[in-house]
């Protein structure tokens, strides 16, 4: 891709619910990025020289500011990505919960570790920061996926170039403002404003690590590009997450309601949204009835309205992806139980859509939908369910609903996915590694692994 060396345009920020322009922002180009990169490099050693406790107190202040300013921040987020206002508040509160876990565990996992202490010999691991890292991020949960990266990176003494998605840039700028208000020295955290070309320009620079959240297609390109730099490159990518309902669940209606939320929360625009459902034939019909009743009960509409559950899609282009999946499924013999098309009028709305009689060769069962659509298939036993669940290039999460924990774990153990769920779905815990396998990514954020992902361990062999 050709990198612009001078500014040629402003970026329009569009409200996906109304299609109105909220504002326009000047995009960064190679020379403005270079200035930011130089500033990050100068400031990083000073930041790394502060004690961990000093850095922790700044991050704690940032979390307090998120709480104090939650209403204004949620409004900005809803206006630019279209998620219902309550879901924006939930996201910010979720980010604060993750920060709390990181602060509670930073000393335990980032401090020096004495591995051997005997007369005449001490062996210690010190966790040194990578240096100046680049975080290219996604729009669907900008606070959550953002804090997975820039909070542990800052805690461990790195400086951060943060490129928010072009669909969540106003939120990225709010984050920068609050970090500075909390006491992060200005040059230590910089926002790169822009879309694909700005991201590509960042790949031309020599950061000490690249941390990417986004699609498989972009992630693969970034991984290839960064390989020759010989620095860490972590990828959190998409999924086609399967869910199986076995024949021993006790309350099929409750399972249908809970799993419908797992598929459609945030309009299905979650990396770990349930994307494929397999139901044992014993409960198939009951499950469908309860599932469709639940889906039809939701209100679609303006995301600022209190009772809206389904807002607009963030990106207009996703509508044609979903339409294509519906046409492909119907052509191959699926049945449409509800939804199936875009909603006419202003805004990027798509009807919540449920397809049955699907097969695994349909796009809706193979390609990441990232929207309000689900395919539900009948299976005869665990063996068939497992075979269907395995049939994917992705490996982010997988879920089994059954009364029997051992039965669930036996299935989950055979799936090549980073997270396994028993009687739950579409969930992330700060205490556990968040990691994808195969097309879903490389490396892990969150947990102790995620805290240390932004460090280089150095082994000290101390004799004397």
Catalytic residues: 236
Residue 196 sits in the site that holds ligand NAD (CB under 6 A): yes
Token pair of 81 as six digits: 């990505």
- Residue 459's Cα: distance from chain center in Å? 33
Nearest distance, CB of residue 137 and ligand NAD, angstroms: 6
Residue 166 sits in the site that holds ligand NAD (CB under 6 A): yes
Q: Which among 20-28, 89-97, 212-220, 337-345 is the span making contact with ligand NAD, rule CB under 6 A?
A: 212-220
Q: Which residue is nearest to ligand NAD (CB)?
A: 199
Nearest distance, CB of residue 389 and ligand NAD, angstroms: 18
Q: Which among 12-20, 39-47, 161-169, 357-365 is the span making contact with ligand NAD, rule CB under 6 A?
A: 161-169
Q: Which among 66-74, 102-110, 117-125, 191-199 is the span making contact with ligand NAD, rule CB under 6 A?
A: 191-199
CB 201 within 8 A of CB 3: yes
Nearest distance, CB of residue 136 and ligand NAD, angstroms: 5
Nearest distance, CB of residue 10 and ligand NAD, angstroms: 16
Between 113 and 152, how does the x/- string for binding to ligand NAD read (CB under 6 A)? Answer: -----------------------xxxxxx---x-------
Residue 157 sits in the site that holds ligand NAD (CB under 6 A): no
Residue closer to ligand NAD, measured from CB, 65 or 221: 221
Q: Which among 47-55, 105-113, 193-201, 345-353 is the span making contact with ligand NAD, rule CB under 6 A?
A: 193-201
Residue 165 sits in the site that holds ligand NAD (CB under 6 A): yes
Among residues 4, 36, 98, 163, the one that binds ligand NAD under rule CB under 6 A: 163
CB 341 within 8 A of CB 326: yes
Token pair of 50 as six digits: 């502060």
Site size toward ligand NAD (CB under 6 A) is: 32
CB 78 within 8 A of CB 88: yes
Residue 301 sits in the site that holds ligand NAD (CB under 6 A): no
Nearest distance, CB of residue 193 and ligand NAD, angstroms: 10
Residue closer to ligand NAD, measured from CB, 313 or 362: 313
Nearest distance, CB of residue 8 and ligand NAD, angstroms: 17
Phi, psi of 173 (to 5 degrees): -70, -30
Residue 237 sits in the site that holds ligand NAD (CB under 6 A): yes
Of 328-387, binders to ligand NAD (CB under 6 A) are 368, 370
Residue 221 sits in the site that holds ligand NAD (CB under 6 A): yes
Residue 87 sits in the site that holds ligand NAD (CB under 6 A): no
Token pair of 353 as six digits: 């859509």
Token pair of 123 as six digits: 């062996």
Q: Any bridge partners for residue 375, and if so which?
A: 276, 355
Binding site for ligand NAD (CB under 6 A): 136-141, 145, 163, 165-166, 195-196, 199-200, 203, 213-215, 218, 221-222, 236-239, 271, 368, 370, 396, 434, 436, 441
């Amino acid at each position: 891709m050709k990198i612009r060396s001078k500014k040629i345009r402003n970026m329009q920020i569009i409200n996906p619910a109304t299609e109105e322009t909220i504002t326009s922002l000047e995009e960064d180009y190679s020379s403005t990025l270079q200035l930011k990169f130089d500033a990050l490099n100068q400031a990083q050693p000073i930041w790394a020289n502060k004690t961990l406790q000093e850095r922790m107190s700044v991050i704690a202040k940032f979390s307090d500011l998120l709480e104090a300013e939650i209403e204004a921040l949620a409004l900005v987020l809803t206006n630019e990505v279209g998620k219902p206002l309550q879901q924006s508040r939930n996201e910010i509160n979720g980010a604060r919960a993750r920060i709390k876990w990181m602060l509670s565990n930073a000393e335990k996992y980032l401090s020096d570790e004495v591995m051997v202490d005997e007369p005449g010999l001490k062996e210690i691991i010190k966790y040194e920061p990578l240096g100046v890292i680049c975080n290219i991020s996604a729009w669907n949960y900008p606070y959550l996926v953002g804090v997975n990266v820039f909070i542990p990176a800052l805690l461990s003494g790195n400086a951060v170039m943060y490129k928010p998605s072009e669909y969540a840039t106003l939120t990225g700028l709010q984050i920068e403002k609050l970090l500075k208000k909390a006491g992060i020295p200005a040059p230590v955290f910089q926002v790169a404003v822009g879309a694909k070309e700005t991201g590509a320009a960042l790949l031309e620079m020599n950061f000490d690590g690249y941390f990417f959240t986004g699609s498989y297609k972009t992630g693969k390109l970034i991984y290839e590009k960064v390989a020759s730099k010989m620095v860490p490159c972590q990828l959190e990518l998409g999924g086609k997450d399967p869910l199986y309902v076995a024949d021993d669940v006790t309350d099929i209606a409750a399972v249908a309601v809970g799993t419908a939320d797992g598929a459609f929360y945030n309009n299905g625009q979650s990396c770990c949204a349930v994307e494929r459902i397999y139901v044992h034939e014993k409960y198939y019909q009951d499950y469908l009835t309860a599932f469709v009743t639940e889906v039809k009960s939701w209100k679609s509409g303006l995301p600022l309205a209190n009772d809206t559950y389904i807002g607009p899609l963030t990106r207009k282009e996703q509508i044609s992806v979903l339409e294509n999946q519906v046409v492909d499924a119907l052509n191959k013999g699926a049945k449409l139980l509800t939804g199936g098309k875009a909603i006419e009028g202003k805004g990027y709305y798509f009807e919540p859509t449920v397809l049955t009689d699907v097969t695994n060769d349909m796009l809706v069962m193979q390609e990441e939908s990232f929207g309000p659509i689900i395919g539900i298939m009948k299976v005869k036993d665990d063996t068939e369910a497992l075979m269907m669940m395995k049939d994917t290039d992705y490996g982010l999460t997988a879920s089994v609903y059954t009364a029997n924990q051992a039965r669930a774990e036996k299935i989950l153990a055979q799936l090549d996915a980073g997270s396994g769920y028993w009687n739950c779905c579409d969930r992330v815990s700060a205490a556990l590694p968040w990691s994808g396998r195969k097309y879903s990514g490389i490396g892990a954020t969150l947990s102790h692994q995620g805290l240390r992902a932004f460090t280089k361990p150095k082994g000290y062999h101390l004799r004397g």
